């Protein structure tokens, strides 16, 4: 009777072969019903020695299995698994055991559940994508279900993440997930930390490492400084940081290992930005994603608990795309008019190089004063902060307190000509995958803005991307930074800077306050631009430092 959550064999449910899934489901059903019967008998036997109860199935262990089944009943792309999981839950309930129900309103706290694609209603192409994701991870997570607004990007993202975490590479599998935990913890992203704690244990990671960074090998602890600076002030990274990691005697990193680690760190820093920026809810089977308490409203039938109808009478969050604010209607028209005027100015005259450089410096200075009025420190919880050191270290503008950081000129070191080839040389194929992801995010367009069609959005997308790089001190000589103030209003800039620099401080109010007439899919698109621009900026600083060390 000792099988726990991690000893239960869920792997067979990931198979594309229905007969394999059927055998796995039957095994799971028998194990869970056996545990349930045993648990009932233990509870019902008076004066049973307490040590026998602790050696038997604990209620916590059974609850974890039931929560996993609940997740499968809602999130598995295979219909047979969803239906059988729901059937097993009802069977357990009929035996008098309380079963879990989902908390919240779907994958995002910011986007109404009815606007997000429901598992089971996807088309054939999307089903294949969902099946791939489920086969790789054993789950269809909430990030995937929000990114699915943009299938072309999602496919590239999943392919890249799968390669980083599971395919051949310089680092062992458990190191990869632990680095993911370290990176997500820097932004206090409990959502990603929880996912990768489970993945770390699943691939054989030592549970003692999870007690705190001080319990991990020295080699991983040495990565803490790079993780810290990369997450919050990447412009401070020097070749000395790189040298310290590559020449640490028996704890040294190889160049290939370090590039793999850097890509993982930047991937999870930016993914933490997406998680907070889109208000991603806890996974159904994780803490905060389900409850064993019965619904507070008395008029539910038993079947509601597993069929999801418990949300029907609960208050739905208003769609940000339907805000009835009188001036929001004119935001889109005003923005489109500005784009038209800027294009006409471009066609008529071109600013000098001196003027362009001056406008960059002005925008860089102004970006320092963009932060929300309710900006306050967020104290990390102990279960998150134990995965990183120096908890007080966070984002600080690079020109504050008299510090001057030289401008990073893309003409001197750029992703296309320098970073891409370095990554591909030391960690084959990853450069190609990341490059594809950058290009898809940057070029993605449906030629729409809110209700308007046939709109060229390239000017707006470039302004967003270059504003983020400007905040990191990165300049494009051929871009007129005067366009940024024309196209991005203050509420939007506050949202962008918070997502990119301190994502743990993002609120629903910030999400709702920008582009009020735009659809949620367009706001998710903005988040994709933000996370890819951020990842590229971090990579540029880290890879330039590696290049300087090598030369």
DSSP class of residue 144 equals H
Count CA atoms closer than 13 A to 527's CA, side-chain side: 30
pLDDT at 178: 97
Report if residue 493 sits inside a domain.
yes
pTM, full prediction: 0.87
pLDDT for the residue numbered 11: 87
Ranges of the chain whose pLDDT falls below 50: 1-6, 53, 55-57, 298-326, 373
189 catalytic per annotation? yes
How many C-beta neighbours within 10 Å does residue 447 have? 11
Structural domain includes residue 382: yes
Q: Tell the burial category of 434 from Cβ atoms under 10 Å away from its Cβ (0-12, 13-18, 19+).
A: buried
Q: Which of 189, 278, 286, 501 is catalytic?
A: 189
- How many angstroms from the chain centroid is the CA of residue 508? 17
Number of CB atoms found within 10 A of residue 509's CB: 11
Question: Is 173 inside a domain boundary?
Answer: no
So what's the pLDDT on residue 136? 83
Answer with the one of 99, 116, 132 that is the final residue of a domain.
99
For residue 513, CA distances in Å to 164, 368, 373 come to 35, 20, 14
* Total number of domains in the chain: 2
- Helix and strand numbers (H, E) in the chain are 24, 6
Range of the domain at 33: 7-43+52-99
Residue 536 lies in a domain: yes
d(CA 63, CA 515): 42
Query: Residue 379: inside a domain, yes or no?
Result: yes
Q: Average pLDDT over the chain, rounded to whole?
A: 85
Domain membership of residue 314 (yes or no) is: no
Q: Burial letters for 398-426: b for 16+ Cβ neighbours within 10 Å, e otherwise? A: beeeeeeeebbebeebbbeebbbebbbeb
Give the whole-angstrom CA distance, residue 391 versus residue 387: 10
- How far apart CA 368 and CA 373 sit, in angstroms, is 13
For residue 313, being part of any structural domain is answered with no
Q: Is residue 116 part of a domain?
A: no
């Amino acid at each position: 009777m000792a099988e726990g959550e991690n000893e239960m064999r869920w792997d067979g449910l990931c198979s594309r072969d229905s007969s394999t899934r059927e055998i796995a489901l039957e095994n799971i059903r028998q194990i869970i019903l056996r545990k349930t019967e045993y648990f009932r008998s233990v509870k019902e036997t008076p004066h049973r020695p307490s040590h026998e109860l602790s050696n038997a199935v604990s209620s916590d262990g059974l609850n974890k299995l039931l929560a996993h089944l609940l997740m499968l009943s809602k999130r598995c792309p295979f219909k047979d698994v969803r239906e059988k999981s729901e059937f097993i839950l009802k069977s357990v309930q009929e035996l008098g055991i309380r079963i879990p129900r989902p908390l919240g309103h779907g994958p995002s706290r910011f986007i109404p559940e009815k606007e997000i694609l429901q598992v089971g209603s996807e088309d054939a192409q999307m089903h294949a994508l969902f099946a791939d994701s489920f086969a790789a991870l054993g789950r269809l997570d909430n990030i995937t279900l929000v990114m699915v607004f943009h299938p072309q990007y999602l496919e590239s993202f999943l392919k890249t993440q799968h390669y980083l975490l599971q395919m051949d590479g310089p680092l062992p599998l458990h190191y990869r997930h632990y680095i993911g935990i370290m990176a997500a913890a820097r932004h206090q992203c409990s959502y990603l930390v929880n996912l990768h704690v489970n993945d770390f244990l699943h691939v054989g990671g030592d549970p003692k490492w999870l007690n705190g960074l001080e319990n991990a090998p020295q080699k991983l602890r040495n990565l803490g400084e790079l993780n810290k600076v990369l997450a919050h002030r990447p412009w401070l990274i020097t070749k000395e940081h790189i040298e310290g990691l590559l020449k640490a005697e028996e704890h040294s990193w190889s160049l290939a290992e370090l590039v793999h680690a850097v890509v993982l760190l930047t991937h999870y820093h930016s993914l933490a930005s997406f998680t907070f920026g889109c208000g991603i809810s806890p996974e159904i089977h994780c803490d905060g994603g389900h409850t064993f308490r019965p619904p507070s409203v008395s008029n539910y039938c038993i079947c509601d608990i597993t069929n999801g109808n418990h949300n029907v009478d609960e208050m739905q969050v208003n769609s940000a795309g339907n805000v009835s604010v009188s001036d929001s209607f004119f935001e889109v028209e005003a923005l489109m008019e500005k784009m038209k005027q800027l294009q006409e100015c471009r066609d008529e005259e071109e600013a000098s190089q001196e003027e362009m450089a001056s406008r960059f410096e002005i925008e860089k200075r102004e970006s320092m004063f963009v932060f929300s009025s309710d900006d306050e420190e967020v104290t990390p919880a102990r279960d998150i902060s134990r995965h990183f050191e120096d908890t007080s270290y966070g984002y600080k503008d690079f020109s504050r307190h008299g510090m001057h950081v030289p401008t990073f000129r893309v003409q001197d070191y750029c992703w296309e000509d320098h970073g891409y080839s370095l990554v591909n040389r030391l960690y084959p194929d990853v450069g190609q995958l990341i490059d594809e992801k950058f290009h898809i995010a940057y070029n993605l367009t449906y030629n729409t803005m809110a209700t308007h069609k046939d709109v060229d959005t390239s000017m707006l997308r470039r302004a967003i991307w270059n504003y983020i790089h400007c905040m990191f001190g990165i300049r494009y000589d051929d871009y007129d930074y005067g366009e940024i103030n024309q196209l991005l209003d203050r509420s939007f800039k506050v949202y962008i800077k918070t997502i990119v620099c301190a994502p743990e401080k993002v609120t629903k109010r910030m999400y709702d306050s920008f582009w009020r007439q735009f659809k949620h899919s367009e706001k998710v698109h903005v988040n994709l631009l933000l996370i890819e621009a951020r990842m590229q900026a971090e990579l540029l600083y880290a890879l330039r430092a590696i290049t300087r060390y090598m030369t």
